[in-house]
């Protein structure tokens, strides 16, 4: 049960990180009608999602959570 909660927590936090970084960049580029940047940010968003899915499949939940905390500069609870 704890493992499932860890996976869900990791997925929610990781999704939020991706949307905040790459989604925001995509929105700004689209608002500015910058086709080149919109396309580049679309690919960056897609790549970030694919990378996170691969990461989720490769790392056990505890390792994924530790990596996420380290990346965010947090200490694991």
Domain span holding position 45 = 2-67
- Work out the average pLDDT over 44-63: 82
Which tokens sit at 13?
């936090």
Q: pLDDT, tens digit, for every residue of 10-41?
A: 888 888 999 999 999 999 999 999 999 999 99
Q: Does the pLDDT of residue 58 top 90, yes or no?
A: no
- Work out the average pLDDT over 57-62: 69
Q: Which helix (H) or strand (E) holds 15?
A: helix 2-18
Q: Is residue 72 part of a domain?
A: no
Distance between CA atoms of residues 59 and 77, nearest Å: 19
44, exposed or middle or buried, with CB in 10 Å at 0-12, 13-18, 19+?
Answer: middle
- Work out the average pLDDT over 65-75: 65
What is the domain count for the chain?
1
Prediction pTM value: 0.65
Between 55 and 68, residue with greater pLDDT: 55
Q: How many CA atoms lie within 13 A of 2 on its CB side?
A: 3
Q: Is residue 23 part of a domain?
A: yes
């Amino acid at each position: 049960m704890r493992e499932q909660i860890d996976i869900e927590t990791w997925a929610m936090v990781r999704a939020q990180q991706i949307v905040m970084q790459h989604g925001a960049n995509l929105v700004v580029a689209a608002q500015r009608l910058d086709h080149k940047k919109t396309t580049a940010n679309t690919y960056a968003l897609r790549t970030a999602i694919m990378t996170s899915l691969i990461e989720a499949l490769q790392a056990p939940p505890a390792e994924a959570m530790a990596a996420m905390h380290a990346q965010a500069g947090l200490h694991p609870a």
